[in-house]
Amino acid sequence: MASSKKSGKKADGDKQSSTLQECDYVYACEWGECEEEIGDMALFVKHIAQHVNEYVSSLQSSNQPGQTGQATCFSCNWRECESQILGNYCDFNRHVYFHAFHVRLKCLGKALLTSSCGTEACSLDGQSRNWIPELPENLICGWKDCELIYDNPVFFYSHVNQHCDEYKEGNNVVGGARCKWTGCDTLVRSKYKLKEHIRSHSQEKVVACPTCGGLFANRTKFIDHQKRQADTASK
């Protein structure tokens, strides 16, 4: 992901939450023994924030060992994750909130499989379904004159896509839709194509496998994954 050498501006939490849109999915929390299910992503993120705050408070009050200079060793309690994050509070936030983003993408993956008649589901054992990728040190918006810094991937990707909305609707925008990410001046025909392009900068994935947790940059690759795993299982 392209990044800026400037310090950037910390994104405001209240403004971040306003960028989220409602959807029909039900998001299941898997923090520790929690089995809460919530139908709104903004409320789901707030719910996870409660777990994060309680965990960090307990870590501080117990004065547990694990301090390494300015770094702390955080343990992710998301089921089947078990990651150890060595860093600061923001590093821990990025990791845990990516689980929220991952849940959303797995919901989309499940919905796509339901609507894709005849497509068999991934046959992997699901051991990796809650594994997430290593994240960059900062989620910085590289759009011209923006440089907001986020520690929540859910809000970051939503924010980045909003920049594309400055262009009008339509398949052939007059003058085209130009990318204003630092170091890029790619010109495409529509804001829809620009949103596809900007993922090459933000590294956003758009769908995940509900079985194995694999992340995919587009729906075609997701469906190919399902077919490939189903073919492998049938041999």
pLDDT tens track for 83-98: 999 989 999 999 999 9
Helices 89-115 + 153-164 axis angle, to 10:
70
C-alpha 173 chain-centroid distance: 29
pLDDT of residue 17: 42
pLDDT of residue 70: 60
Residue 113 lies in a domain: yes
**Percent of the chain clearing pLDDT 70 (strictly above):** 83
User: How many distinct structural domains can be found in the chain?
Assistant: 1
Specify whether the backbone of 31 is left (phi greater than 0), alpha (psi in -120 to 50) or beta.
Answer: beta
User: What is the token pair recorded at 220?
Assistant: 């075609």
Residue 105 lies in a domain: yes
CA–CA dist 91, 152 (Å, integer)? 10
- Which domain does 101 fall in, by range? 9-234
Higher confidence at residue 49 or residue 227? 49
pLDDT, the chain, mean: 86
Residue 155 lies in a domain: yes
Predicted confidence band of residue 20 (pLDDT cuts 50, 70, 90): very low
pLDDT mean over 163-175: 93
Say if residue 67's pLDDT is above 70: no
Residue 19 lies in a domain: yes
Predicted confidence band of residue 153 (pLDDT cuts 50, 70, 90): very high
Higher confidence at residue 61 or residue 189? 189
Residue with tokens 């983003």, as numbered in its chain: 101
Residue 99 lies in a domain: yes
**Percent of the chain clearing pLDDT 90 (strictly above):** 66
pTM: 0.84
